[in-house]
């Protein structure tokens, strides 16, 4: 039987034979040492199909992944799965057969592997994609909380808990997200979560200087609310949490859409209801996908062109408790990537960078996120404070609700304080 690994090895040898019979052989993922027991991982997901987040992430623990210029074999192996929905292009059954793990009919059975006790060492929870109801503000009710709750029920009944990594934000519902956070503290298990954007490469490879006196920041991005807004907010948060004094939390959020965004753009500065024009220009300058008129290349678009190209703009203007003023912009038709810019006291020009997204099908930034997930799941210690994603979870909910209500939303529940890691966390190799 020809397996994927045998095919790659044979193909590699054939290529090398054509180069004069060199003795070099391609190296695949290196297995753990015989003395090392691979930890047992349960995958809980809503949907497993091509381009889904389960495909992006869970499969890193099936076949290994590249990181730091080498192929890495994870310390965890998938031994069970729970899949909530099976679309026509489902891949979970195929992967189950290919890699030899069963798919169970409940979260409890997946965590107990068909026994009467918790039988895994870690949980990867991916509650993204699938057909679910929406809230009145357009948030999809992905059952991240429900899957997490069922896992916690097993932990309680069996008297043992294991680390959980949760893809993206914790829940569409703030109270449920806070409950998930509280359960992890009560039962003492590591909880990690978030976007792949903070983990990806940056161009240039910079971080916000630790302790920087930060006045105003911006992330210019693509996508829509209740989806890509989360990624853009994590871009902002992974940078600004390093500012002077550390994270102090958010005072209010004002979500804008359509004409409200154009009014803010015309305002020209934060005090008049907009944002710093220099930050917007710096983000545009870093974009690798900036839209152009026919036959043009790298011309700064006019306001008239931006209005023409962007049909459904979204902006979140955010006031942090310490005075920091971020703006998140979603402008489909203008850009197709994520850029960041910051105005720092004492610096004449904005600090800016591109959060680089390698293309499909390899999507290498999800491998970097799973490298972080693997560290948390294998060691029981999260490299990044979970408070980051707790805060961005609340920001998404507040931003979507504010835009739906057409007014600013006060956020006393987001008075969340924490300290960022001293070392940079993004991929730089």
Class of domain 39-189 (CATH, top level): alpha beta
Report CA 241 to chain centroid distance, whole Å.
16
Share the mean pLDDT of the chain. Answer: 92
CATH fold of 198-374+381-414, please? Dihydrodipicolinate Reductase; domain 2 (3.30.360)
Q: Is residue 27 over pLDDT 50?
A: no
**Residue 204 CB-density burial (10 A; 0-12 exposed, 13-18 middle, 19+ buried):** exposed
pLDDT in tens, 368-403: 999 999 999 999 999 999 999 999 999 999 999 999
The predicted pLDDT at position 52 comes to: 95
Specify the range with the lowest mean pLDDT, choosing from 11-20, 22-31, 188-197.
Answer: 11-20
Q: Of the given ranges (13-27, 323-337, 386-400), which has the lowest mean pLDDT? A: 13-27
Nearest Cα to 71, choosing from 362, 377, 336, 414? Answer: 362
Position 279 pLDDT exceeds 70: yes
Region 302-308: what's the mean pLDDT? 97
Whole-number Å distance between alpha carbons of 142 and 130: 8
pLDDT band, very low/low/confident/very high, at 6 (cuts 50, 70, 90): very low
Which of the four pLDDT bands, split at 50, 70 and 90, describes residue 211? very high
Query: How far is it, in rounded angstroms, from Cα 286 to Cα 340?
Result: 8
* Dihedrals phi, psi of 197, to nearest 5 degrees: -60, -45
C-alpha–C-alpha distance, residues 220 and 211, integer Å: 24
What's the rounded Cα separation, in Å, for the pair 226 and 216? 24
Distances (CA, A) of 295 to 291, 292, 298, 299: 11, 8, 10, 10
Residue scoring higher pLDDT (5 or 281)? 281
362 pLDDT more than 90: no
Using CA atoms, how far residue 297 sits from 43, 292, 294, 305, in Å, is: 45, 6, 9, 14
| Average pLDDT of the segment spanning 288-309 | 96
Sequence ranges of the domains in the chain: 39-189, 198-374+381-414
Q: In terms of Cα–Cα distance, which of 325, 305, 84, 65 is closest to 199?
A: 65
Half-sphere exposure (Cβ direction) of 222: Cα atoms closer than 13 Å = 17
Alpha-helical regions (H) of 168-217: 174-187
Helix (H, G, I), strand (E, B) or coil at 292: coil
* Torsion angle in degrees (nearest 10) through CA of 336, 373, 392, 354: -30
* pLDDT band at residue 360 under the 50/70/90 scheme: confident
Instruction: Please determine, for residue 317, whether its predicted confidence score (pLDDT) is greater than 60.
Output: yes
Q: Band of the pLDDT at 29, cuts 50, 70, 90?
A: low
Mean pLDDT computed over 164-175: 98
Are 321 and 410 in contact, with CB atoms under 8 Å apart? no
CB 337 within 8 A of CB 321: no
């Amino acid at each position: 039987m020809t397996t994927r690994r045998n095919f790659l090895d044979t193909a590699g040898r054939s290529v090398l034979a054509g180069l004069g019979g060199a003795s070099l052989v391609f190296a695949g993922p290196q297995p753990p040492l015989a003395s090392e027991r691979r930890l047992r991982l349960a995958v809980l997901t809503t949907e497993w199909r091509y381009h889904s987040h389960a495909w992006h992430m869970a499969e890193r623990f099936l076949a290994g992944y590249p990181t730091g210029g080498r192929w890495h074999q994870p310390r965890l192996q998938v031994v069970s799965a729970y899949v909530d929905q099976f679309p026509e292009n489902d891949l979970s059954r195929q992967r189950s057969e290919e890699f030899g793990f069963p798919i169970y009919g409940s979260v409890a059975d997946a965590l107990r592997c068909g026994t009467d006790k918790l039988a895994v060492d870690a949980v990867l929870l991916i509650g993204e994609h699938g057909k679910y109801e929406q809230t009145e503000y357009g948030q999809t009710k992905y059952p991240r909380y429900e899957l997490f709750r069922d896992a916690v029920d097993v932990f309680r009944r069996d008297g043992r808990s294991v680390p959980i990594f949760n893809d993206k934000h914790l829940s569409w519902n703030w109270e449920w997200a806070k409950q998930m956070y509280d359960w992890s503290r009560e039962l003492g298990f590591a909880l990690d979560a978030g976007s792949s954007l903070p983990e990806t490469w940056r161009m240039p490879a910079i971080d916000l200087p630790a302790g920087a006196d930060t006045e105003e920041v911006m992330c210019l991005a693509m996508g829509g609310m209740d989806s890509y807004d989360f990624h853009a907010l994590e871009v902002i948060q992974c940078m600004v949490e390093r500012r002077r004094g550390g994270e102090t939390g958010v005072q209010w959020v004002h979500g804008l859409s359509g004409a409200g965004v154009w009014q803010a753009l015309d305002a020209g500065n934060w005090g008049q209801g907009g944002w710093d024009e220099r930050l917007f220009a710096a983000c545009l300058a870093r974009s690798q996908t900036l839209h152009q008129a026919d036959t043009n290349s790298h011309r700064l678009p006019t306001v008239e062109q931006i209005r023409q190209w962007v049909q459904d703009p979204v902006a979140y203007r955010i006031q942090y408790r310490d005075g920091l003023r971020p703006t998140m912009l979603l402008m489909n038709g203008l850009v197709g990537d994520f850029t960041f810019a910051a105005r720092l006291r004492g610096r004449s020009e904005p600090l800016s960078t591109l959060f680089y997204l390698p293309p499909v099908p390899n999507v290498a930034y999800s491998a970097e996120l799973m490298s972080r997930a693997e560290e948390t799941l294998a060691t029981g210690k999260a490299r990044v404070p979970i408070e980051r994603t707790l805060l961005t979870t609340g920001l998404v909910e507040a931003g979507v609700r504010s835009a739906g209500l057409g007014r600013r939303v006060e956020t006393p529940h987001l008075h969340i304080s924490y300290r960022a890691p001293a070392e940079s966390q993004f991929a730089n190799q």
